[in-house]
Structure 1
């Protein structure tokens, strides 16, 4: 290795400050940006990186890890006793079978293709199961291997251009379902491969709804990797494509446009652009209000019932404590029909209350998230960060409540 090569914080024995600087640079953040996102200054970050300040306490380490999307605390601290995963889940028991189905190359075409109607009905049932089951990852994981292979076989068996485009749209939806399942599993490259396959299938289908969904999922993957410019490029280009279609479009396409508009707002919020973030949210609210009262998009969950939940996330991403808590108190989770989306909203409410200095309310809200959909909170890095932070709280009662939640999530052993 050349002497000017960047050290690898995952292999080299480096000080905390050196690891912090390397990981921050890899995420493309300045010191001022990182400091602002954890409630400190750029000079404070510099002092940490140069060793003028000692390694901070665990609550601050957890906040830094959350911003940098560090998969494991030991990657940041260098302390192997802190081998705790944040944004990578424990690995679902059905993950190996799903990964094998995604990685298998089927060239022989020996698998009999189901009818388009049969495949569509199975996809519809799979999305319904995802929203209704508390153990939604387990349910989806059991369905995906056959769905993946059957959808690929349907594309191969298509005899006309129209049939092939319809089959590609169905295959894209299968990849979207797989991307939900594979998120936060211990194979990040697989998530990107699935996202790319979903985008390719959607583009081949020439279906605006499928293209919009592929862009929606790709945008989230970029933003969670802190590639904000890439997230904007995908979101805004797709919105330019969809906007002329909206006057004559059905509810599904308008809902996808609304979901993409929310994503643009969340990316702006991640940058700290308050006015832009709320402008996009206002535009998304207008699209939500154009939908039927009881409409709920089966993939994005976009609807009138979740627009308030999106407001909570915008405020949280802007690190506006008081506004976050106000939005959290205003947005009603019980109106959301999807169990995993309801649980995710509870987690966002918990982030808001924690940001506002209400840790007891945050822990109680996380307990509600666990009740709604245990598998959602189990794989959520924001929830894990709050629970681990409060497990070190000065209050014995709060430590006990946080530790009990940590054990239920598998973050700590009993």
Structure 2
């Protein structure tokens, strides 16, 4: 006799039982999941109890998205449906990045570069990432060398001021690492990097560095599911309390990371279904975005006046409002976003809005635009993969063909 939650994969459980176990493991109430997939709680209960037949592929995909199920086989129990949504394929440079993170130099015959030198290299790395369609390839090629140098610089720092400066640079290197590791099949490595980034940021005592590390860690918590939303809020609200009093005399970078954190709080609220809090935080972030010059663009978070339209689309999509998503998508000008990967991410959010609004043709066309902006963004994005797979089963032959062509381009059929 045990009180442990049963393993949904140890015995051949039916779909409804698997869905119930996965929902409970996520800490998600039945009424919440029902709302996310557009069904009533009573319908969901009957599916879980086996009183209704398994839903069709479209609904299975929506349930998988809502539960953040990475592999469809976990939900269906069918190995023939092994499709990873929220974990993309391992990048060819993943092993080298992993080795660089795991290696921790504490001595060297060579003097370490200065914090200023590392920051200059980081500036080039962020610029290259934003301008490249294959941004993971770019970051993966640069990362091993820069992380080793940053770790060594911290070790060789001789004064308190030098140590704080090198810790700030190292924390930003870990931030760059997280952009490479996101949605790859190395969750433990991603968390290790996030935690190291937080520790280095705290050691730096730099408000901007602390904000950046918190911004990325909040995303990691939120993407872990509803049971981690409180942790996401905690890691967002605490640095906001530290940063907001500094705003009257702050530089543009501190204002930007404050605005980025304000939006992250709204993003988590939208995931919860709290529309009032989500839009309230978005309003705060928009006001913060107006303080820097019109052409300002934060290199890590992409926070800017231009990106607020994209953020509005995300809030509407997470609140499952198709009509509002499309309205916000029409207002947001994607071409104003200078970053190719961020522009592609915005296109994916627009596609989610079109899908919610019952416009699958527009969704596929927008995903094509995302692919043109940055193929490596759509290739690793679970929402895009779900929409494409769903449309390969469309009733209309032309739509099936278009979705199948896109599935082949992003590597979904061979992942």
Tell me the TM-score range normalised by the shorter chain. Answer: over 0.9
Any unmatched runs of 5+ in structure 2?
A: none
Within 2, Cα distance between the matches of 1:325 and 1:77?
A: 31
Contact 1:48 1:54 in 2 (8 A): yes
Q: How does 1:247-266 map to 2 (within 5 A)?
A: 247-266=248-267
Residue 396 of structure 1 is matched in structure 2 by 397
Compute the displacement of 1:10 (Å).
Answer: 4.0
Residue 300 of structure 2 is matched in structure 1 by 299
Q: How does 1:39-118 map to 2 (within 5 A)?
A: 39-110=38-109, 112-118=111-117
Contact 1:35 1:45 in 2 (8 A): yes
Distance of aligned partners of 1:304 and 1:315 in 2 relative to their CA distance in 1, 3 Å threshold? same
Within 2, Cα distance between the matches of 1:97 and 1:72?
A: 26
Compute the displacement of 1:278 (Å).
Answer: 0.8
Within 2, Cα distance between the matches of 1:358 and 1:306?
A: 24
Within 1, Cα distance between the matches of 2:396 and 2:43?
A: 28
Residue 286 of structure 1 is matched in structure 2 by 287
Residue 185 of structure 2 is matched in structure 1 by 186
Within 2, Cα distance between the matches of 1:392 and 1:301?
A: 35
* 1:69-115 deviation line (CA, Å, top 9, x unaligned): 11110111110000111000011000011011111233444554112
Within 2, Cα distance between the matches of 1:132 and 1:275?
A: 35
Within 1, Cα distance between the matches of 2:414 and 2:234?
A: 43
Within 1, Cα distance between the matches of 2:383 and 2:401?
A: 19
Within 1, Cα distance between the matches of 2:189 and 2:62?
A: 26
- Where 1:323 maps in the other structure, the secondary structure is helix
- Where 1:412 maps in the other structure, the secondary structure is coil
Residue 199 of structure 2 is matched in structure 1 by 200
- Where 2:307 maps in the other structure, the secondary structure is helix
Within 2, Cα distance between the matches of 1:78 and 1:149?
A: 43
- Where 1:304 maps in the other structure, the secondary structure is coil
Contact 1:111 1:150 in 2 (8 A): no
Any unmatched runs of 5+ in structure 1?
A: none
Q: Which moved more, 1:114-123 or 1:249-258?
A: 114-123
Compute the displacement of 1:234 (Å).
Answer: 1.1
Within 2, Cα distance between the matches of 1:185 and 1:112?
A: 34
Within 2, Cα distance between the matches of 1:175 and 1:275?
A: 34
Within 2, Cα distance between the matches of 1:201 and 1:400?
A: 49
- Where 1:200 maps in the other structure, the secondary structure is helix
Residue 246 of structure 1 is matched in structure 2 by 247
Within 2, Cα distance between the matches of 1:157 and 1:151?
A: 10
Indicate whether 1:270 and 2:268 are aligned: no
Residue 344 of structure 2 is matched in structure 1 by 343
Residue 211 of structure 2 is matched in structure 1 by 212
Contact 1:251 1:291 in 2 (8 A): yes
Compute the displacement of 1:157 (Å).
Answer: 0.6
Within 1, Cα distance between the matches of 2:110 and 2:219?
A: 33
Within 1, Cα distance between the matches of 2:115 and 2:282?
A: 37
Indicate whether 1:20 and 2:19 are aligned: yes
Q: How does 1:303-382 map to 2 (within 5 A)?
A: 303-382=304-383
Contact 1:109 1:156 in 2 (8 A): no
- Where 2:306 maps in the other structure, the secondary structure is helix
- Where 2:130 maps in the other structure, the secondary structure is helix
- Where 1:185 maps in the other structure, the secondary structure is coil
Within 1, Cα distance between the matches of 2:157 and 2:12?
A: 55
After TM superposition, the score normalised by the length of structure 2 is 0.97
After TM superposition, the score normalised by the length of structure 1 is 0.98
Residue 410 of structure 2 is matched in structure 1 by 409
Contact 2:150 2:170 in 1 (8 A): yes
Within 2, Cα distance between the matches of 1:95 and 1:111?
A: 26
Compute the displacement of 1:52 (Å).
Answer: 1.1
Within 1, Cα distance between the matches of 2:7 and 2:411?
A: 29
Distance of aligned partners of 1:163 and 1:10 in 2 relative to their CA distance in 1, 3 Å threshold? farther
Within 1, Cα distance between the matches of 2:391 and 2:263?
A: 30
Compute the displacement of 1:291 (Å).
Answer: 1.3
Residue 29 of structure 2 is matched in structure 1 by 30
Compute the displacement of 1:51 (Å).
Answer: 1.0
- Where 2:172 maps in the other structure, the secondary structure is helix
* 1:40-62 deviation line (CA, Å, top 9, x unaligned): 12222211211111221111111
Within 2, Cα distance between the matches of 1:311 and 1:379?
A: 22
Within 2, Cα distance between the matches of 1:110 and 1:65?
A: 52
Within 2, Cα distance between the matches of 1:96 and 1:8?
A: 31
